[in-house]
Amino acid sequence: MDTQEAKPSPSDVDKYLVESLHGSEPEMEAGRKHAHEAGLPHIEVSETRGKFLMLLAQISGARRVLEIGTLGGYSTTWLARGVGPDGHVTTCEYEPLHARVAADNLKASSIDGRVDIRIGAALDTLDALLAEPEEPFDMVFIDADMENTGHYIDLAITLGRPGTVIVVDNVVREGAVLEPGDPLTESGRMVNGIRDGIDVLGSNPRVDATALQTVGSKGWDGFALAVVR
């Protein structure tokens, strides 16, 4: 009787890539474990996506990064590594518990001096940043409540400069983005928020954008990538 070998899964491939390209990251794994033990949802970016963000910050020469959605500070830590010791990350988090866990993890990684955690609704925080006499951000990573994606992108463009890189995570959602969502459900509102964000990226003459589908340990999803003109 013919037998078929089990095909490798996307998670298997992710594991191989991490082991081959990343090496041991005990501080990152400790931070992830601390966040999970504190009760935070297991929705942080994957290892490969985290390092992608770090490399993108390095490639673009970013020194000032804005992150919308801190969670336990996993992606924040990668971004802080990317900007280097002379760079700075401003990250927005709505939940005080998440912000406390992120602060613990950043301190444990000895890079807390590079990061400013702003607690509160991100739209309010971004409005406050507009009023501050600071330099524009070189890179913006958006990974927060999907309903406000379009607003976050608009504000990211305003807070940026020509050449600012904008990354928007979770824009495919296993293909759900193809159709408008039910506005009476949370998942439907999330999809509609993503679609609003894609509409902004496609119609705003100040940005040039694309999006890539991804598959891995976190399933079928994707991210949008844009640069401010």
State pLDDT tens for residues 147-190: 999 999 999 999 999 999 999 999 999 999 999 999 999 999 99
Beta bridge partners of 93: 119
pLDDT grade for 7, boundaries at 50, 70 and 90: confident
Give the amino acid at 214.
Answer: T
Which H or E element spans position 116? Answer: strand 115-119
Show me where the domains of the chain are located: 46-228
pLDDT in tens, 177-224: 999 999 999 999 999 999 999 999 999 999 999 999 999 988 999 999
Per-residue model confidence (pLDDT) at position 2:
53
CATH topology of domain 46-228: Rossmann fold (3.40.50)
Residue written as token pair 């504190």 = 38
Give CA–CA dist 187/39, Å, rounded: 22
Q: How many residues are present in the chain? A: 229
Query: Listing from the earlier edge strand, what are the strands of the sheet with 88-93?
Result: 115-119, 88-93, 64-68, 139-142, 165-169, 219-228, 207-216
Hey, CA dihedral for 92, 98, 104, 109, is it positive or negative?
Answer: negative
